[in-house]
Structure 1
Amino acid sequence: MSRSNPPAPGLPDWLGQLDEGRRQNFAAGEMISQPEADDNRLFVLTSGRARIWLAGESRALTLALLGPGGIYVTHTRAWVEALEAAETRSWPLSELRALIAERPELAIAALGEIGQVLSGAITLIEDLAFRRVEARLARLLITEAGRQGTDVVHLPESTETLASLCGTSRQTLSTLLNRMVRTGLIARPDRRHLAIADPAGLRDIAELSDG
């Protein structure tokens, strides 16, 4: 099943050792993976964006966002939802085990990618425990600007998703965004983008906590 062709630009190098896998396309709002699925697979997002989230009785909590090259394993209690038109490649875990037995170094590379998702979840727990909502929002905007490589941050499709990433409600999020616009921290050129006008000011807010 292995090959040695380089993967598409933006995808992890170790994917060049795998076959094409199963390619699937998802529309915005469609579930890529859900908890009750019994087909355990590793998938890579090859285009688009998705979010990993947990569902409670009255709210959802977003654990991480995935962009092109993002990796996830489906046998968890989390949902994975396409935020925009997205494509994935996936492989049964049994095939990956066989390849890793042959090429152990691939396991280290794959774990590094998956570890980024875990790091994001730990950051979320830290934020919920120690930071006010405004500080969580500021930190999220700074992180996304760095990840996207621009001061104009591309937002998730829905306000609910952004609120979920901050662990708050739509109403509170809207209030905080409007306040940041009024104070010159950010600008909002359109509904899908936020421009960071005062990075230092956002970083100062992101460091604040409830003690």
Structure 2
Amino acid sequence: MHGPNASNLLDSLDALTQAALLQGFHRRQLIEGELLGSPNSKRDSVFIVHSGRIRVFLAFEDKEYTLTFLEAGGIYSTHSQAYVQAVRPSEVLMGDTAQMTATLRSLPSAVPAIIRVLGATLGNCMRIIEDLAFRDVEGRLARFLDGMLVRKGRPYQDSLRLELDLNTEDIARLLGTTRQTVSSLLNRMAREGILSRVGNGVFDIHDAERLRARSQVFAG
């Protein structure tokens, strides 16, 4: 059930192309909670995640809406109208936007890989926005688990094992809800026999069809 990882730029390039693309980039270490970009940021940089996890989110008054999590190989900029924050210790490769633009003019072979990565990020953002607008929290959770099952699920005994490098708080941020709500819904799905929680971020999906059907229910 594993497909190609369209969101990892570094894995998509051969060594020579990668080295040429990253000329002028520098490594930056981020501590958990450190902001890399914000709506008022003056910095005009492009970054590629080398390790860790970066959260891209919008904030309005006391509400936050997570657009995506960037992991190894993800690419983004510091000058969007979103907050960009490390949610765990991370390392990024930072480069000047103008310099990268000039590099790409002489390195056209890297452009398709960058477009694929940005397309995957944009697609994820659009799914999250659609879910927030049209699905209740249970539907959003079911759709998230179903999507991850397609990407990462593997047969395990009579079920499908899903291992996520995300805790309940991370999932709640993606779904625009609270950790308590996600935990409560997972417990309900467990009681209904849809899944069982094996460990932190590890699930056995016993009824993938019911999970998918639940993910397709829109809020009334």
TM bin, normalised by shorter chain, reads 0.7 to 0.9
- The alignment partner of 1:61 has SS state of strand
Which of 25, 40, 54 is 1:36 aligned to?
40
Matched-pair contact (CA < 8 Å) for 1:11–1:69: yes
Q: Tell me, yes or no, if structure 1 residue 97 matches structure 2 residue 84.
A: no
1:79 matched residue in structure 2: 83
Taking the aligned partners of 2:153 and 2:31, their CA distance within structure 1 comes to 25
2:4 matched residue in structure 1: none
Which of 49, 55, 61 is 2:65 aligned to?
61
Q: Cα deviations across residues 146-195 of structure 1 (Å, max 9, x unaligned)?
A: 44455323253462x32221122333222211101211222222334333
Which of 153, 156, 170 is 2:166 aligned to?
156
Which of 168, 192, 214 is 1:205 aligned to?
214
1:131 matched residue in structure 2: 135
Residues 188-197 or 21-30, more deviating:
188-197
Taking the aligned partners of 1:157 and 1:210, their CA distance within structure 2 comes to 25
Matched-pair contact (CA < 8 Å) for 1:84–1:157: no
- Unaligned 5+ residue runs, structure 1? 1-7
Which of 15, 27, 50 is 2:31 aligned to?
27
Residues 11-20 or 162-171, more deviating:
11-20
- Per the normalisation by structure 1, the TM-score is 0.83
Q: Cα deviations across residues 96-143 of structure 1 (Å, max 9, x unaligned)?
A: 111122233433431221121111111112112222211110111122
Which of 120, 142, 148 is 2:124 aligned to?
120
- The alignment partner of 1:11 has SS state of helix
How far the C-alpha of 1:27 sits from its partner, in A, is 2.8
Taking the aligned partners of 1:124 and 1:17, their CA distance within structure 2 comes to 34
1:18 matched residue in structure 2: 21
- Alignment root-mean-square deviation, CA: 2.4
Taking the aligned partners of 2:96 and 2:65, their CA distance within structure 1 comes to 27
Taking the aligned partners of 1:146 and 1:88, their CA distance within structure 2 comes to 28
Q: Tell me, yes or no, if structure 1 residue 185 matches structure 2 residue 194.
A: yes
Matched-pair contact (CA < 8 Å) for 2:21–2:104: no
Q: Cα deviations across residues 64-87 of structure 1 (Å, max 9, x unaligned)?
A: 121211111111121222232321
Matched-pair contact (CA < 8 Å) for 2:163–2:203: yes
The structure, 1 or 2, with the larger RCO (C-alpha pairs under 8 Å, 6+ apart) is 2
Taking the aligned partners of 1:166 and 1:25, their CA distance within structure 2 comes to 28
Taking the aligned partners of 1:9 and 1:116, their CA distance within structure 2 comes to 11
Q: Cα deviations across residues 46-78 of structure 1 (Å, max 9, x unaligned)?
A: 112222111121121110121211111111121
